[in-house]
Every structure is written in C-alpha cells, then in structure tokens.
Chain A
Amino acid sequence: MKHSFERFVKKVIQETDCSREEREDLFEELVIHLECACEDFKGNGYNEEEAAHLAMRNFGDGKYVGRTLQHAMYPYRREMLLTLSIGSLILTYAIFLSQLFVMGDSHIGWLLLGVLTSSSILFLTLRPVASLNRRAVMNTLLVVHGFVMAAGMLLDFDSPYSMIFATLDTLIVLLAVVLIFRTTIYDVPATEVNLRTGTKFVHYFNLSMGILLILGTLFFLYAFLIFASDGYWGLWKLFVPLAFWGIVYALQLILLNHGRKKIAYSVTAVQFLLPAALFVLWILVVRGGAS
C-alpha cells in the first residue's frame, strides 16, 4: 500500500519545480495525508485495497494536483515557459524560412540550435524529469536559449521583415531574461538566507552585471568578426571577465550561506570593475593581434 502511495505522490511532485528538500518535505506530507485518508476509509469498513484506492481517487488526478500545486507555488511559471518555448519554436522556423526565401541564406546550424533549446524547454515544462536538478538545468537552458535567439537578430538585418522579427525576437529574449531572474530570485526555497533583502540584491546586481558582461563580450566578438576574416586564438582573453564574474558570484553565495554578509556585500564592488576590465582586455587583444 505504501508503495502505491509513493508512486502516486511521485507523479504529483514530478509536476512541480520544487528543490530537493522541498520535494522531500512535500513527498512526506502527501504520503502521510494519503495514509490518514486510507485509515479513515478503513475505519468506515473498507478493506485495505479499497481504502487505498479511494484515498488516491479522492485526492484527485495526480498530474492535475501536481500542476495546481506548481501554479500555487510558482504562479504562471509553467505558462511563461510554454509561451517562451512555443513562441521561440515558431519564431525560429519563421526567421529561418524568411532568410531562405527572401535572402537565399540557409542558417541550418542556428535552426538546429533554436529548435533544440526551444523544444528542450517545452518538453521539460510539459514532462518534468524528477531526477534532474530542474532549476539549474532550466536556468542553463534559458541562458543558452537567450543567446541563440539573440544571435537570430544578427542573422536578419536586411530582409524586409527584419523589424518585425527583431521586435518579436527581443520579446522572446526579454522573456528568457525575466525567467532567469525569476528562477534565481523568487522561485527558490524559502530559507532564511534566500528571503533576505540583501541576498535578493546580490542576485539582482550579479545577474544584471552578468547580462551586461555577456552583451559586452558578444559585442566585441561581433566587432572582431566583422573586421577580421580569420579566427584569432587570443580572443579567449575576452571571456576572462565573464569567468571571473561567475567565480565571484558563486563566492558571494557561499559567503552568504556561511553568514558572512559584510564580506559578501563588499565583494560586490569587484563586479563593478569587470566591464572596465573587459574593455582593457579588448584593447590589449586588438593591439596584441595587430602587432
């Protein structure tokens, strides 16, 4: 009986974006709830099998309950992810076909990346995989997807529909950015550290700085690729600020988890220097390449 309750509850939890701890708590609570209901039915004269069956039936459809729980815990997250993935899929096909028929260009690599990231988000939303660290996987997917869709804007400068596609593409990238912020700052376990205003500020600041650095790095790479016809290995230096940003961000979170608030906040200042560091590196890379 316990096994069938556990299987049932697993289905329910699978529909949610809970963390591992939240999932364990929820799992325990729901199993106990079903066991209590089963005991009640048994008290009313049903045998064990009938009581278990009735307890699960009265609880409702596992998937439906899971989705309702998900909506209650993370309002409109599923809808936002579905909008993002379906919108991205349609836009990817539309940009690819417009480039093919209007400009004669066939960006198959970009099409595959766009379809792969969009459909991964779609399937993970429709059919969540419980064994994955869903928040980490989804955030990574959203970041990669945001880049792929932003790259789509660079493909379509001159076609007659470029303004329409650029507008739609911008909306998709913005939605991906909103979901990254949401996943990192709001859809997190309600621990003391996570609820602190200072922690939220650290996330906001770091994510904004990360987006700025990514855009800056992409801009310099794009500028380089416009003027240079061949690759240049020295370009890896441009990614140093981004890697440094990731390390400093992780360090701040570790410090916050250990209660070292002051040091964590003061490390934030380091992130301010990174855009300047990126610019200096760009100058050095250009000069290094030119020598």
Chain B
Amino acid sequence: MKRIIVLAIGILIVTSVCIFLGLTLQVPESEKQQGLTGIYDVSETGDVGYVTYEDGRPTLYVKSNGIKQVAQLPPDQAISDVIMIPGKKKVLYVNSDKTLSETSKSVVHEIDLTTGEDEVLFEKDAIITELALDDAMVDQLFYLQANVYLNYSPVASEYPHEFDVHSYDLKEKIQSKLTNLKKYNMASLQVSGKEKSVYIQMDDDADADTAEEIFETKQRIFQIPLAQPDQSKKIFIPMDMEDLYDFVLVPEQSLLIYQAVAGTNSKGTYEYELFSYDWEAMDTKQLTFQKNYADRPLLGDDGQLYYMMDYNFAGRSPEYELFRMNLENGETEQVQLAE
C-alpha cells in the first residue's frame, strides 16, 4: 500500500511539473511563425522586398545594396502582399489580422525607403489579399478585396469570399470598385498598362449551374479591360490543361508562365512546378524540376523569372527560398535573402 501511495504521489508530482511547464513555456500560435514567407516583389532595379516572420511578427525587408528592415508589425498581424513601386524608392504593403474574422480590416501602407516613413494610405473593413501596379500606369494601385469571411459549408474552412477587383488612385487618393463579380475566389492579380487590362485567376464557372458542374469547374485566367470591366475575357489555353494556379502573363511575348501540378512524391504530396505556354506557337514547356512547391512566379525587368520554392509544402511551417531563372538558357540561381 505504501509503495502505491509513493507511486501515486510520484505520478502526481511529475504531472503537475509538466502542467506547470506547459502553462509557462507554451508559445502562442501567433508567435510561432518563423522565417521567410512566399510574399515578395522585385523592383525594376533588382531590389527585392520580402516578408519574413520573426517570432510571429511579420517583418518587411528590402534587399538592395544591403538588407534593410523597413517595417515590423505585431504578431497578431500578417502582411498579405508587397509591391515595389516602379521608378520610386517606395514600397507598398497591405496587412490584416493573422487570424482572419468577419470583422477583420485591411490597411494599405506606403513606405518611403529613403526616409523610412510609413504612411497609411487607406483602411478597409474588408480583407485585401493582393496588390498590383504596372509601370505604365504607376499611379493606379489595383487590389483584390474579399467582402466576406465565412465558410459556405460546415465541411469547409472559413475563407475570404465574394472577391472583386478594386483600384486606388495614389495621386487623387480615390478608391473605386472595378468589377462586380462577387467571386468565390480570385488570385494572382496582374496589371498591364499597355493592354489597359487587369488579369486574374478565378473559377471558370460562367456556365456552371448544378453542384456537380461547380465542383468540376477549373481555374482559368481572365482579362478584364479597365474600360469595360463587365466584359471579362477568358485567356485561351489548351483544353486539356488541368487547374492552373499562380501565373504571370507576358502579353508582348505571348507567354504565360503558370504554376500547375506536375506529379506526386512518394508520400502522395502534389509537386507543383512552373510551366510556360506560348500561345503563338502553342507550345507548353516545363520550366522547373525541383519536385517541391514552386510558387509566385514573377518576371523581373531584367527579363529573368523569379519564383519562390517551398521545401516543406504541406508541412507545418513552410521553408521558402527565392530563385531566379534565365528563361533563355534555363540557368537557375538562388537569391540570397540573408546576410
């Protein structure tokens, strides 16, 4: 009996110590994120603006001659997108709550890289997920805004929905709503000043009526002319192409660079690679072969393709690295984002 009491007391003590350690040493979810995210932009001079997490605090860096921290937000915030303004030593970024909710706001900032001044351009009672600018119309900032954050079904996570494209005149400081689509999802916003259009990726669900048809819907790229935003046009791609996700469009080269599933690894996890599609020659080419998660393709002014590679896709925390590829010879090098 005595031995059992001693054993019980021992278990009680060890358990109490564990609970004490658990209560004092646990790290709040918002402070766990560490390292580089996939959010970045490259300026026409090759400067890279990118976002990392430092003990959960979203931190914006710009790599120019050296690496400079230009903004850091509290751990409950997240930076959703970054834009290096062409021709100016300025960077734009948008932040929202890290844990999104129906009441989440978004704040768009402009940082003067010379003075380091961080100015709030505007705030919205909605979720802004992406920003886009083009050097041919540098005063017009375009952004994707989701008006609701909910789960349409209990078997789905809460997510931003009812997307539309909006714009903000950086000179006049006027906001306007460009489309009235209330799309379930929109992503990869891109602007072409020459074409006077924005390009977005969204569900090709115009002819889908039944639940089965909606389920079968594929992601496609649409061109929305700024003059007639209600007349969106689907960009032609081969019929047999599966879902394509992130993309970069180079209309002057008739080139589409897109992210798609290339296969699965031994654990059954999808491998995402970048592909190019030349719609003049109707030629598709696989660009990356890193068998991980190639993401966020971006064509720099130096003509090189930049992209992020997540080496821990589907894992608990991503492990991003930035790469740069010469499209002519396929030579790829890693862009170091640490000193």
Contact = CB atoms under 8 A, between A and B. Distances in A.
Interface of A: 89, 93, 96-97, 100-101, 103-108, 111-112, 115, 119, 122-123, 126-127, 157-158, 224, 227-230, 232, 234, 286, 289-291
Q: Which of A106, A107, A126, A127 lies at the interface centre, i.e. has the most chain B CB atoms within 10 A of its CB?
A: A106
Interface of B: 1, 4, 7-8, 11, 14-15, 18-19, 21-23, 25-27, 31-32, 151-158, 211, 315-317
A289 B316 contact: no
Contact of B32 (A104, A106, A127, A286): A104
Contacts of A127: 1, 4
Nearest to B157: A229
A108 B4 contact: no
12 contacts: A96-B22, A100-B25, A103-B32, A104-B25, A104-B31, A111-B15, A126-B4, A126-B7, A158-B315, A158-B317, A228-B154, A290-B211
Given A111-B22, A290-B153, 4 more contacts: A123-B7, A123-B8, A158-B316, A289-B154
Contacts of B8: 119, 123
B151 A229 contact: yes
Contacts of A103: 32, 316
B25 A106 contact: yes
Contacts of B15: 111-112, 115
Contacts of B14: 93
Given A93-B14, A104-B32, A157-B316, A228 B156 contact: yes
B158 A229 contact: yes
A67 to B, nearest CB: 14
User: Which of B7, B23, B26 neighbours the largest number of chain A CB atoms within 10 Å of its CB?
Assistant: B26
A84 B169 CA distance: 68
B11 A227 contact: no
Nearest to B27: A104
Contacts of B18: 93, 96-97, 111
Contact of A111 (B19, B154, B157, B211): B19
B239 to A, nearest CB: 29
A103 B25 CA distance: 11
A290 B151 contact: no
Given A104-B27, A105-B26, A123-B4, A289 B21 contact: no
A286 B4 contact: no
A107 B317 CA distance: 19
Contacts of A126: 4, 7
Contacts of B151: 228-230
A119 B15 CA distance: 11
B26 A232 contact: no
Nearest to B3: A126
Nearest to A119: B11
Contacts of B153: 228, 289-291
- Shortest beta-carbon contacts, A-B, top 6: A104-B27, A106-B22, A106-B26, A232-B154, A290-B153, A158-B316
Contacts of B21: 97, 100
A268 to B, nearest CB: 34
Nearest to B317: A158
A100 B157 CA distance: 27
Nearest to A234: B154
A100 B316 CA distance: 15
B154 A108 contact: no
Contacts of B152: 290
Contacts of B315: 158
Contacts of B31: 104
Contact of A227 (B25, B27, B155): B155
Contacts of A123: 4, 7-8
A100 B26 contact: yes
A107 B22 CA distance: 8
Nearest to A232: B154
Contact of B19 (A108, A230, A290): A108
B315 to A, nearest CB: 6
A157 B315 CA distance: 9
Contacts of A106: 22-23, 25-26
A228 B155 contact: yes
Contacts of B32: 103-104
Taking each of B18, B151, B316, which has the highest tally of chain A beta carbons within 10 Å of its own beta carbon? B18
Contacts of B27: 104-105
B23 A227 contact: no
Given A104-B27, A158-B315, A286 B158 contact: no
Nearest to B24: A106
B155 A289 contact: yes
Contacts of B23: 106, 108
A232 B155 contact: yes
B299 to A, nearest CB: 34
A96 B15 CA distance: 10
Contacts of B316: 103, 157-158
A89 B26 contact: no
A123 B317 CA distance: 41
B158 to A, nearest CB: 5
Nearest to A104: B27
Contacts of A96: 18, 22
Contacts of A232: 154-155
A115 to B, nearest CB: 5
A100 B23 CA distance: 10
Nearest to A230: B154
